């Protein structure tokens, strides 16, 4: 039996991969314009990093990690997300010692052991941004504006940013008590996961997708009810800045992101989806995380988005522009001597940057011209035994169907001149 790719992974073939490249180019472009630099961290890390950095009570750490022992009996995990690794790199490379803030972005594969029937991938891809070393609301506003701007440039429809403040440890302690008071009489009706969350992290009950839990938490006290003065001021300023940047946003007090290290700002970007809105980006402030992974107390904020999700949204709103691989010239060589002479010509043209192909199968004239048609080449240059002896080559304009004979020695200069004219036009 033929070997198949692992469940939950995908082969990105030509025809599809161009859409990915388009999105990746847009991402790199906007990051450069906003002054964010790329960071590339390892695909696997010590398991402990994610236990500490993502939080031991989260589903990611409890159920979804690809963890293995390496040959030295160390527990390693394929990265399930990007933020913990970026914070680890920030600490390990002492980036906190240089100019602040450090504005970084990453793109690449992430790994989670998800049930394949849920339509999710086990190897999926994320783009994310992290700003470390700055705690002012203007940083939060810049990060949100970057993703807002990206989605608008992509032409996504029905965009809306949802923001909330989940407070800090001080105001969250008060909220926790109020929330537990509210939930106490309802506790036994909550789902099994939420019953466990009740003691450790009741805030996450507000985030539960179980319909019963959602109903039971209607009217529950939100973190906005108990924000301390500092958190309240931060949230107010953030909203003013978002308005100033003309970002369409809405305060959503039920938006509590599932990870333990979030502080103050939490946000999502929603997009029009089939029949409803759905989130295609999530992020927030995580002022406690760098310390959690062994660094100095450092504020941080970031977001991550699933590339697959954004591409799906892009398809709904008209899609990425079609990009195709296209030859300018197809060199049609007939016979062994013509082939080796043709290969020399093609090599020289490629050095000059011309998109050019030569037949690799020893096909007939007809088959080679058909192939040239398929790649939508502008010209075919036909070289056979007879042309070689006369020192000429036939240049056929495939769009107009016209052809002319030119001296073999003049071909390169002639074609390059036409190419430059066509590129300019």
Q: How far apart are CA 5 and CA 211, in angstroms?
A: 35
Q: How far apart are CA 250 and CA 164, in angstroms?
A: 9
Site string for Zn ion, 254-293 (x = CB under 5 A): ----------------------------------------
Answer for which of 143, 208, 238, 256 binds Zn ion (CB under 5 A) is: 208
Closest CB to Zn ion among 54 and 208? Answer: 208
Tell me how far, at minimum, the Cβ of 168 lies from Zn ion, in Å: 3
Q: Of 62-70, 128-136, 224-232, 348-356, which segment contacts Zn ion by CB under 5 A? A: 224-232
For residue 231, state whether it binds Zn ion (rule: CB under 5 A). yes
Q: How far apart are CA 278 and CA 313, in angstroms?
A: 10
Q: Of 22-30, 226-234, 316-324, 361-369, which segment contacts Zn ion by CB under 5 A? A: 226-234
Give the bridge partners for 301, in sequence order.
Answer: 131, 285
**160-165 and 263-272 as β-strands: parallel, antiparallel, unpaired?**
antiparallel
Q: How many residues line the site for Zn ion (CB under 5 A)?
A: 11
Closest CB to Zn ion among 58 and 77? Answer: 58
Site string for Zn ion, 177-196 (x = CB under 5 A): --------------x--x--
Residue for token digits 């953030």?
238
Q: How far is CA 114 from CA 8, 55, 76, 420, in A?
A: 8, 18, 18, 51
Instruction: Enumerate residues 326-385 that contact Zn ion by CB under 5 A.
Output: none
* DSSP state letter for 157: S
Closest CB to Zn ion among 194 and 338? Answer: 194
What sign has the CA pseudo-torsion 145, 150, 153, 155?
Answer: negative
Q: How far apart are CA 380 and CA 358, in angstroms?
A: 10
Closest CB to Zn ion among 194 and 377? Answer: 194
Q: Which residues of 192-202 are buried (b: 16+ CB within 10 A; e: fewer)?
A: ebbeebbeebb
Tell me how far, at minimum, the Cβ of 189 lies from Zn ion, in Å: 10
Q: Of 54-62, 67-75, 205-213, 406-414, which segment contacts Zn ion by CB under 5 A? A: 205-213
Closest CB to Zn ion among 168 and 289? Answer: 168
Closest CB to Zn ion among 55 and 167? Answer: 167
Residue 127 contacts by C-beta under 8 Å, 6 or more apart in sequence? 27, 105, 106, 107, 304, 305, 307, 310
Tell me how far, at minimum, the Cβ of 260 lies from Zn ion, in Å: 16
* DSSP state letter for 319: -
Tell me how far, at minimum, the Cβ of 199 lies from Zn ion, in Å: 14
Closest CB to Zn ion among 198 and 419? Answer: 198
3-class SS at 180?
Answer: helix
**329-333 and 356-358 as β-strands: parallel, antiparallel, unpaired?**
parallel
Closest CB to Zn ion among 134 and 365? Answer: 134
Instruction: Enumerate residues 138-177 that contact Zn ion by CB under 5 A.
Output: 167-168, 170-171
Residues that bind Zn ion (CB under 5 A): 167-168, 170-171, 191, 194, 208, 210, 213, 228, 231
């Amino acid at each position: 039996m033929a070997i198949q790719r692992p469940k939950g992974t995908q082969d990105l073939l030509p025809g599809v991969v161009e859409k990915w490249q388009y999105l990746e180019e847009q991402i790199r472009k906007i990051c450069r314009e906003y002054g964010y630099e790329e960071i590339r961290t390892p695909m696997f890390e010590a398991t402990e990093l994610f236990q500490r950095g993502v939080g031991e009570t989260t589903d990611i750490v409890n159920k979804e990690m690809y963890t293995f022992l390496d040959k030295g009996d160390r527990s390693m995990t394929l990265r399930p997300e990007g933020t913990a690794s970026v914070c680890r790199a920030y600490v390990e490379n002492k980036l906190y010692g240089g100019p602040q803030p450090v504005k970084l972005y990453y793109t690449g594969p992430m790994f989670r052991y998800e049930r394949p029937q849920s339509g999710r991938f086990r190897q999926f891809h994320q783009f994310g941004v992290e700003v470390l070393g700055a705690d002012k609301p203007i940083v939060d506003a810049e990060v949100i504006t970057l993703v807002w701007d990206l989605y608008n440039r992509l032409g996504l429809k029905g965009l809306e940013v949802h923001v909330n403040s989940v407070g800090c440890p001080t105001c969250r302690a008060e909220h926790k008590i109020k929330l537990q008071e509210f939930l106490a009489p309802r506790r036994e009706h909550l789902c099994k996961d939420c019953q466990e969350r009740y003691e450790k992290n009741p805030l996450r009950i507000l985030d539960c997708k179980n319909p019963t839990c959602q109903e039971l938490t209607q009217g529950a006290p939100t973190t906005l009810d108990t924000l301390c003065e500092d958190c309240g001021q931060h949230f107010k300023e953030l909203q003013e800045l978002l308005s100033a940047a003309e970002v369409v946003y809405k305060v959503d007090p039920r938006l509590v992101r599932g990870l333990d290290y979030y502080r103050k700002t939490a946000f999502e970007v929603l997009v029009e989806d089939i029949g409803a809105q759905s989130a295609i980006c999530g992020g927030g402030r995580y002022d406690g995380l760098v310390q959690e992974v062994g660094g100095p107390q450092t504020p941080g904020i970031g977001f991550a988005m699933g590339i697959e999700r954004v591409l799906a949204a892009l398809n709904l709103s008209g899609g990425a522009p079609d990009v195709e691989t296209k030859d300018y010239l197809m060199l049609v060589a007939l016979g062994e001597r013509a082939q080796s002479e043709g290969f020399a010509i093609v090599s020289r043209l490629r050095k000059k940057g011309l998109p050019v192909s030569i037949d690799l199968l020893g096909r007939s004239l007809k088959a080679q011209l058909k192939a040239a048609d398929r790649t939508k080449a502008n010209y075919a240059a036909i070289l056979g035994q007879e042309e070689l002896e006369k020192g000429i080559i036939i240049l056929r304009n495939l769009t107009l169907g016209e052809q002319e004979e030119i001296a073999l020695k003049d071909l390169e200069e002639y074609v390059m001149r036409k190419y430059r004219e066509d590129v300019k036009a």
